[in-house]
Structure 1
């Protein structure tokens, strides 16, 4: 049995190892008290305990982690309290404040959780759960919705208490739906878009903040727990390589919508996506093994194997957790031509994670993590289509290839989080290191082959081989005050060092083994360093009203250098270098008003930015068109929201209206045959979001998410040739997901069946009237998914169907990759996929 926490007024009860005779533990506690004090003393203590629970006392307990709140309750109320750490782990509370009877205060702290209380034989109050959730039959599941805790504001608190839109995707729900990668994760998040790269990752955006497929710097920050990933600059494809993490011992994924610049810094101007992993458990040896198989229409079979092992090293002091998985992807795209093949996008993804947790004292916690993920693909998943009809150029999911394409992404991520609780504040020191290496081959014969043939060069293929490396080391110190006080504050220092490179070569391979012609060899290197101080202050004016202000002061310096040689450059190499520096500031102002115990309204105004950088000018560059440096672009977002748990906590509702003003927009421009970055134009995005979760009975659950976005240029974007009033690309006006799940019992085993539908509205791949990025309207589509499963005592089985009707949906379109202006390259939604998973816990 796990260790039992109790107040200092009770005699210490020694820990015992886990036993099947769980029912004996209350008897052991009662017997110990009886032997030490006698039955008469015990009865007197019980009477005193009841008196304590009836008299009113002053409580000021912050919302957030339930265990911390119960410890504060013991300290402030002087009440004898017993609970199991495992019973309260993972739950959150709204806290309590005011003069209340201890019994009423405890009830408010536990409100919204499945925990119960009873009086122990020794007079102490025992907090307990009737039965483990996993063992509860489906027909006995609680009717009220689960309490969800997030770390969006760098504090653990209920999602309803956070004055911004935060969506939580539980790992269990994602696995049930057959989700395996970033594209699957965000597919059911309206207002969050991922433009496909043909393999993993792509361009990740939120709330319509995108200028198109050419994005040098990310607008969404991606984190693993508190560890930042990716690059802040444009030097090494930082804007198109978000961490695409597999289901590697994830607990849930948080989607923070709107600018998060004060707490998360550069590159979080449209939001943050945070992978939250499972932490080691110092009390219980446990683990699981998972097996899965899938089949995609027109493609090959897929196989997945995963394992997790949690090992306590010393009870309540140290534990280590191991996780590993491998995912074999069958592929579904074909190629014709000299490099023809079937299922050319097949491959595999392998990953491993080790997490060590140390709690040598009550105040000190140390977390050390290491994550490695290796993605291999034989080719890229694109279809060539006719832009006039949006039908396949040859046949579905097929393209012409003259050279084999390949892709590999090796990511290594390490983090160290040292936390010390002073009581009045909590200090965190977070150190992280990231290494990413991407090797990629892209066939551009269709673009350069016709011109070379016209020059009578006997060309067979023109591949581009590139290697991208991203290195990042960061250090953050953060001091966070206690929650629940009149003034709450947070202050931090952030140091970041980044180094990137992008080296490649484009060769024309000649026919009949005549060798190759070096068309272009390019080396690019970049360095980025940033120092920032940040903080926020919350004033709880009344129990209902709170006001928050935040500020982040940053300073960054960048260096960039490049060298190009080859036939396309000429006899003299094109060498260039550049530097830049700037000191951006971001702001936050928010007000939250508690309308009732279960509903809040908020207003939030926040700014965000992406760093600027140097342009590496060539000798032929027109200085009237391109400046030596480009500045950061920035925005202000104004958001009004409402959150509530209604109908006896069976209905959860979140709604938001926002208005974003984006200025100095970074966009590409060309001069002398090279592409640079300039600041030109402005945009305005108006939108609304709605999230509903309804559990009218123990058996039924209904979900709905919707987003409406109107994103337009308010000034001409000269680099893209787009006029004011034109809609921004790749963002639908309306998108929604609807789902229903039915829980039931099958042969006394919990089971479920569910169906969901995802609608994505029309989007433009470019800008109306633009020659640089021409308008191609992508049709709307609706995908239907099915899920079903049954939970046995020793294992569970789940099945899913994604894209049940095998609907053809276009995710993104790229132009300019072929000499034929009517031939474009497109990424499609995955075809119908059927899968089966088996999970064996131990």
Structure 2
């Protein structure tokens, strides 16, 4: 950790303690519509774009409330996912997590596939924020709840919701009370690096018709990955980072029927490196004889250059609603400006190509920096009209428009590379292949995208009897994507091409709900979801082996992915018990699968004709005894290909074999937690509690091909550093199951002060989250790994 970071943390700790001690006693707790998250009591959600009790929503939904988030100590969506049945997160580094629901997953999507669309829509209140590759890691502070809507939500939420939808619901400005929350934290990661945060929220009434709510936060993340360096040195904790941001919302009601809420959200994430644990690197491996042989330990990697990641996001939105007497008109306008820079040490990648081209050792050792940038501008507008009455007929109709401009670039600055290129391949070679890009950058690409989408949607619900309700809806969508691809440099093809993709379609949904009693409801549904297609980038043919060029060269465009979801579920409560369960079957057509194109240092997407997922999921919350709360959730999922895809030789392509598993999804996932609380008289009175949680995540594969010929033998000892080029690194590509145990204890005092101590990952499980390969294993092999044991203390003051 840097000196700057340590000074910042010292300031955070000091400021937190002073502020917490100085703040007055709580006048009223921070307002949350879901505060009553006690087993058997109601939780209000807006999954159907109208407020309703979670038990009355006629499909499978989970809501993690503010109290759930605070008690669990969750700081990211990945933390929350382990408590949500059917929700899986594939962690590929800061700001690069990929979300799947109910096993609908198509494989690892990485930094150089900007054209791939997301399978799960992510919303901040009413504004869509999901982005393939880079779904933002939003801070969970001052949230009312996080809703997970399982199954396709295309009718109300559109194309990005083929598997489901995640909704971050914030606390809204409240004109009835002054209220706020301040939270400070210090933690120790892996026994040697310090992290922590300072967060605050305040709500101020401006009148009985207006209020403003402001939220600010800064977090320092302790690192846990060590980097071996040239010359034998080791840099500690290279993946530390920070997150800084805030929200400012103003709500005013000029009349009883009109509410207008403009808001600005800003967040910046910076990371000094990536959570990558390597098992082979071109420069550091057991096979070298003229260089020091290296066998990596846990949470180690090798770097010639420092790495970094930065994500700066600005969101401005305006939500307005007007009551029209029996109906409500709602308008949601949002604008997103986002800049992302992922800077990686690509020396091993460039060096492996240099070995193949016969460059001298001095060229192989040149530091090479791959810089990926994304500049995103998005404008969306939704307008909907919904019934607002207590009658048996409820309806909603709306329209949606979005205009997305995304400029993606790649540069590979490698100082001195052109001289070696000209010396080895002939004078003038480097200039001849540059295609207008800078010197000493063997790969460059510009990919500007313009995606426009229009949609009309609606839903109608009718109470056939007091117990039986039928809901039907649909969405018509029309989109067009224009993309240009320009590349240059020794590793590229010198492309300059324009592509265009168009698509339209209709996605229906039918839901049935039967209230068997006041406390038990059965539901069933059939719904269709879709994911927009696109165009693959051309292969980097100068890097491809003839075999890889022949296998992967025939895939240019890919069609829309569609699926039908069929499910039946039950929700109920009985005194201190609340439960829900669902069984589902998903029939997928043209699943968009991502494959690593081996030596080409490219990835391609293509359609698999048929696949399916099926399974069961359950969630249970109970007040087992006075002061003892218990929660249990889990999912059992089968997700498999129903088609086999072969190349021209008849060989199965990329693991797409009937019966093989879809990637990144555990078959079995289980979470259990228990909290015991008891009243105390000290410190003004309140409650003391102790809480424990257990999370099991089953085994997975990162890509479909990983289950073919596994364990895999990577012949990655290139003829460099004394290696002969025939040595094999054997890797088991089945990511093993892992178990996380967390423990916390603390006091929640009546004056609004909470003090919580915790240990996360008590047994220091080194969870392997996904497999990382560079250039088919010729350059690097490794895994993204989870956080190690972490000790921490949190102080929270509400007023």
Normalising by the residue count of structure 1, what TM-score does the alignment of the two structures yield? 0.78
- CA-CA distance at 1:362 after TM superposition: 0.8
- Which of 196, 202, 212 is the aligned partner of 1:320? 212
Structure 1 residues 412-811: aligned runs within 5 Å: 412-453=314-355, 454-456=358-360, 458=363, 459-510=365-416, 517-569=440-492, 573-615=494-536, 626=554, 629-646=557-574, 648=575, 650-668=576-594, 673=600, 675-718=603-646, 720-747=654-681, 748-766=685-703, 767=705, 770=708, 776-792=733-749, 793-811=751-769
- 1:631 Cα deviation from its structure 2 partner: 1.5
> Using a 3 Å threshold, how does the CA distance of structure 1 residues 746 and 514 change in structure 2: closer, same or farther?
farther
Matched, 1:240 2:133: yes
> Which residue among 150, 160, 168 is the counterpart of 2:63?
168
**1:680 deviation in Å?**
2.7
Distance in 2, matches of 1:211 and 1:271, equals 14
| Distance change in 2, residues 1:764/1:466 (3 Å) | closer
Q: Does 1:329 align with 2:221?
A: yes
The answer to whether structure 1 residue 181 and structure 2 residue 76 are counterparts is yes
| Distance apart, 1:623 and its partner CA | 12
1:77 paired residue number: none
Q: CA deviation at 1:336?
A: 0.5
Provide the rounded CA distance (Å) in 1 between the counterparts of 2:101 and 2:510: 21
* 1:182–1:201 Cα contact (<8 Å) kept: no
- Give yes or no for contact 1:444–1:817 (8 Å, CA) kept in 2: no
Q: What is the DSSP-based 3-state SS (H/G/I as helix, E as strand, rest coil) of the residue aligned with 1:189?
A: coil
Q: TM-score, normalised by structure 2?
A: 0.82
Q: Deviations over 1:149-181 (max 9, x none)?
A: 111111100000011111111223223322212
Q: Larger relative CO (CA 8 A, sep 6+): 1 or 2?
A: 2
CA shift for structure 1 position 348: 0.9
Cα distance in 2 between the residues matched to 1:213 and 1:773:
19
In our comparison, the structure showing a higher alpha carbon Rg is 1
User: SS at 2:201's partner residue?
Assistant: strand
CA spacing shift, 1:201–1:720, aligned 2, 3 Å: same
Shift of 1:507: 3.1
**Range moving further from structure 2, 505-514 or 197-206:** 505-514
Q: Distance in 2 between matches of 1:833 and 1:675?
A: 36
| Structure 1 residues 606 and 227: CA distance shift in structure 2, 3 A | same
Give runs of aligned pairs for residues 301-312 of structure 1, distance below 5 A: 301-312=194-205
In structure 2, distance between residues paired with 1:569 and 1:765: 27
Alpha carbons 2:29, 2:752 under 8 Å: kept: no
Structure 2 SS opposite 1:359: strand
- The CA distance in 2 between the partners of 1:735 and 1:755, in whole Å, is 17
Q: Secondary structure at the match of 1:469?
A: strand
Alignment equivalent of 2:783, drawn from 815, 823, 826: 826
Aligned residue in 1 for 2:151? 258
Aligned-pair distance for 1:186? 1.6
Partner of 1:30: none
Indicate conservation of the 8 Å contact 1:417/1:429, yes or no. Answer: yes
- Give the conservation status (yes or no) of the 8 Å contact 2:318–2:334: yes
Q: CA deviation at 1:445?
A: 2.2
Distance 2:163 2:126 in 1: 18
Label 1:400 to 1:511 Cα distance change in 2 as closer, same or farther (>3 A): farther
Relative to structure 1, is the Cα distance of residues 144 and 245 closer, same or farther in structure 2, using a 3 angstrom cutoff? closer
In 2, distance between residues paired with 1:269 and 1:772?
30
Give the distance between the partners of 1:569 and 1:148, measured in 2 at CA.
54
Q: CA–CA distance in 2 between the matches of 1:623 and 1:305?
A: 52
> Residues 38-53 of structure 1: matches in 2 within 5 Å?
none
Aligned residues: 697
**How far apart, CA to CA, are the structure 2 residues paired with 1:533 and 1:413?**
24
Q: Distance in 2 between matches of 1:377 and 1:622?
A: 38
Structure 2: any 5+ residue segments left out of the alignment? 1-24, 111-115, 287-293, 422-438, 542-548, 647-652, 713-731
Gaps of 5+ in 1: 1-19, 23-85, 93-112, 115-141, 231-237
Q: CA RMSD in A?
A: 3.0
SS class of match (1:584): strand
Structure 2 residue aligned with 1:99: none
User: In 2 relative to 1, CA 819–739 (structure 1 residues): closer, same or farther, beyond 3 Å?
Assistant: closer
